[in-house]
Amino acid sequence: MQQLYVDGPGGSKALLIPFRDNISQVIIQPTSETLFASHKRLFPPIPAAAKNKPNVDRVFFNQLLALLRIAFPSYRSKEVAIVFVHSVFLVLRTVLSVGVAKLDGKIVRALVSADGKGFLRGLGLWFLLAIPSTYTNSMIRHLQSRLSLRLRTRLTRYTHDLYLSSDPYLRYYRVAGEGGLEGVDQYITADVASWAESLAGLYGNVLKPMLDLTLFTSQLSRTLGVRGTIALFVNYYVTARILRAVTPAFGRLAAVEARLEGEYRAGVGRIGREAEEVAFYDGGKRERDILWRAYMRLMKHVNSIFKIRIAYEWTEDYVIKYLWSAAGYCLISIPVLLTRRRSVGVQVDANEPRSQEIDDAVANRTENYISSRRLLLSLADAGGRLMYAYKDLLELAGLTTRLYTLLSTLHALPPLPASDRESLISLEDVDVTIPGAEHTPPLVRELNLTLGAGEHLMITGSNGVGKTAVARVLAGLWAPGGRGAVKRPGRDEVFVVPQRAYMVAGSLLDQIIYPHSYPQFVQSGRTEEELMEILTAVHLEYLPQREGGWMTRKEWRDVLSGGEKQRMAMARVFYHRPKFAILDECTSAVSSDVEGKMYEHAKAIGITLITISLRPSLTKYHTQLLTLSGDGTGSWTLTRIGTAEARMGIDREIGMLEGKLKEVERWERRVKELEGLLGPDGSIGEDSSK
């Protein structure tokens, strides 16, 4: 099997990517918890009321700077190099635009003056200047795309490392519950990509127009004079004031659109994950209605944005295209009219024909007009793009707020209590409470128990009393409530098997060794013969032959039956051989004989079992029984199986069941009486109806 990655020094991984019959290698450096700790101060939580009210203000710039610290980790990063080269081409494009404007005026001057050589020379320079101009335009677009991809990659790696953190944070497990953040997949996928694309495009859309405005205004000031330059700046100010007054809250609208997009995406994903359950209930129509409502909420919001943009874009186009063009004509007319007035009083040389003088004056005015006109058109385009950039800046503010919310929520999650590396599991006066619901009564109060090697525990009780909650505390997924203390081994020595077996994307071999990877399997020295012995222990020895070998890759959650998936989960326990295995109703779809053999095998290889189950038949495989009461008080009883106390509890249950069996005959007689009251067709007779 071809390795997807290999472990490197310092926790790095070399990702192997097939490309054109070759293998390219990409080194991935994981983000350290030390860096996360230093970044925590950059992402303080924001008030809930401010999450959907992004705007271009100091809060936005603080959030943007925090994200830029991640996107541009140092001045020597590749992202900074791309920005520098991108900036060079943006400056070069502006310089070339000025050159094109001047050359345009010279070509028209040659035409007006009937200068054939000058016209051909200008045309040749035009084609020559087109080469660097077209190359510059292509490089600007290319570098913008490269920058967007680099920013997305950098932020995605950081977010993945933070989100998929291991013990003691487990942020991916806790962010929805304790963090209260839903739709994380939308944040990490679509929002990160949109933010990177928006930021990369905004840089070019701001820097290039600002350079154009600076250089074009400088060039025009030489032609327009002082009065024309002042009028030009007045035009800038009036335009900015008008557009600022009519600009809607695009940042808030973009944030709401991203949230609704996430809800719609989550609905589609839910149907894909729960397709079998939906099919069993024939709930396609109901799910369609739910999904359609989510889509219509999104479309209603998008349509409202379109309606809001009508008035804004109408005003924007009118101001930028027509008002600026009219202002440009007025500004160009200033030097032309003044030049003509001065030319009236010019003393004509007797040796030079007057027609030649007039032709030169017309040619000069034409050249100045064409160059100024070209610069003003470019200036109007730059102003328009700069005003559009403000709208893009508002949308970037909305995306920035969403990403900042994600990272601040992940950073705000405190670490779980660290493992004590003990050889036993001990709970001392522990209140089992739901994280984030400290004000609600605990599910279990002041729980005390100690489990050493070979002290197998069975947890039982009615539904909803907190059996799985106790398992989460034992596994370290939940912090203990109250003043209690938990001692347990490291997470690699406590293996949890949930009721719903998880099948990882990969080969058949990957299903057994999960969460290890194939390189780790090779480095461990384990063999496929050992894996076959494990499959034999769980009665799945037929799978490699049936499915086509160990390296067959399929959608295993659909290929394997419910019982096979649960037995595969037990095979993982036998592969990793932890000190403690917490089994949460993980054999409910397995027959009793196979279930018993798996329990015996687990005990034979030295695994201490902590079982959550309602099956009395599993009691004999354990030494202690923890019974959680269902009276809502959080009380519990811990008994040793085989003692007089345990036997008394069993005797009481047997007596209760025997008492119910004695009532069977009486209820059977009552059923016959009721049947006698019914007529032959099942209806009640006339006598009984009176």
What is the per-residue DSSP string for 80-126?
HHHHHHHHHHHHHHHHHHHHHHHHHHHHHHHHHTT-HHHHHHHHHHH
Q: State both tokens at 113.
A: 């003056």
Amino acid in the structure at residue 559? V
Q: Rounded to whole angstroms, what are the CA distances from 86 to 51, 71, 79, 145, 152? A: 33, 16, 10, 11, 17
Q: How many CB atoms lie under 10 A from the CB of residue 32?
A: 12
Beta bridge partners of 6: 14
Share of the chain above pLDDT 90, in %: 26
Pairing of the two strands 485-487 and 553-554: unpaired
Distance, in Å, from the CA atom of 618 to the CA atom of 428, rounded to the nearest integer, reads 26
Amino acid in the structure at residue 131? I
* Residue 616 DSSP code: G
Q: How confident is the model at residue 2 (pLDDT cuts 50, 70, 90)?
A: very low
Q: How confident is the model at residue 325 (pLDDT cuts 50, 70, 90)?
A: low
| Average confidence (pLDDT) over 414-435 | 85
Q: How confident is the model at residue 345 (pLDDT cuts 50, 70, 90)?
A: very low
**Nearest 10 degrees: CA dihedral of 354, 355, 356, 361?**
90
Structural contact between residues 447 and 430, judged by C-beta atoms closer than 8 angstroms: yes
Distance, in Å, from the CA atom of 509 to the CA atom of 514, rounded to the nearest integer, reads 9
The long-range contacts involving 675-682, CB below 8 angstroms and separated by at least 24 positions, are none
- Which of 52-61, 341-350, 643-652 is predicted least confidently? 341-350
Is 11 or 250 the better-scoring residue by pLDDT?
250
Does residue 317 surpass a pLDDT of 80? no
Residue 626 has a pLDDT of: 93
Does residue 54 surpass a pLDDT of 90? no
| Average confidence (pLDDT) over 304-327 | 73
Q: How confident is the model at residue 690 (pLDDT cuts 50, 70, 90)?
A: very low
Structural contact between residues 259 and 54, judged by C-beta atoms closer than 8 angstroms: no
Q: State both tokens at 529.
A: 């013969």
Query: How many CA within 13 A on the CB side of residue 75?
Result: 0
Structural contact between residues 380 and 321, judged by C-beta atoms closer than 8 angstroms: yes
Share of the chain above pLDDT 70, in %: 77
Structural contact between residues 205 and 353, judged by C-beta atoms closer than 8 angstroms: no
Query: How many CA within 13 A on the CB side of residue 89?
Result: 20
- pTM summary value: 0.74
Q: How confident is the model at residue 18 (pLDDT cuts 50, 70, 90)?
A: low
Structural contact between residues 639 and 646, judged by C-beta atoms closer than 8 angstroms: yes
* Residue range 474-517, pLDDT digits in tens: 888 888 877 788 888 888 899 999 888 889 888 999 999 999 88
Buried b (16+ CB within 10 A) or exposed e, 42-66: bbeebeeeebebbbbeebbeebbeb
What is the per-residue DSSP string for 330-349? Answer: HHHHHHHHHHHHHHHTPPPP
Q: State both tokens at 91.
A: 């400056």
Q: State both tokens at 16.
A: 């192997």
Q: What does the radius of gyration of the chain's CA atoms come to, in whole angstroms?
A: 38
Distance, in Å, from the CA atom of 14 to the CA atom of 372, rounded to the nearest integer, reads 57
* Residue 684 DSSP code: B
Residue 523 has a pLDDT of: 86
| Average confidence (pLDDT) over 403-412 | 92
What is the per-residue DSSP string for 515-539? Answer: TS-HHHHHHHT--HHHHHHHHHHTT
Opening angle at CA 383, ends 381 and 385, nearest 5: 70
* Residue range 611-624, pLDDT digits in tens: 999 888 888 899 99
- Which of 29-38, 187-196, 243-252, 405-414 is predicted least confidently? 243-252
Q: State both tokens at 650.
A: 């069993």
Which backbone phi and psi does 484 adopt, to 5 degrees?
A: -70, 165
Taking the CA atoms of 336, 338, 341 and 342 in sequence, report the sign of the dihedral they define: negative
Cβ neighbours for 684, distance < 8 A, ≥ 6 positions apart: 677, 678
* Residue range 177-187, pLDDT digits in tens: 888 888 888 89
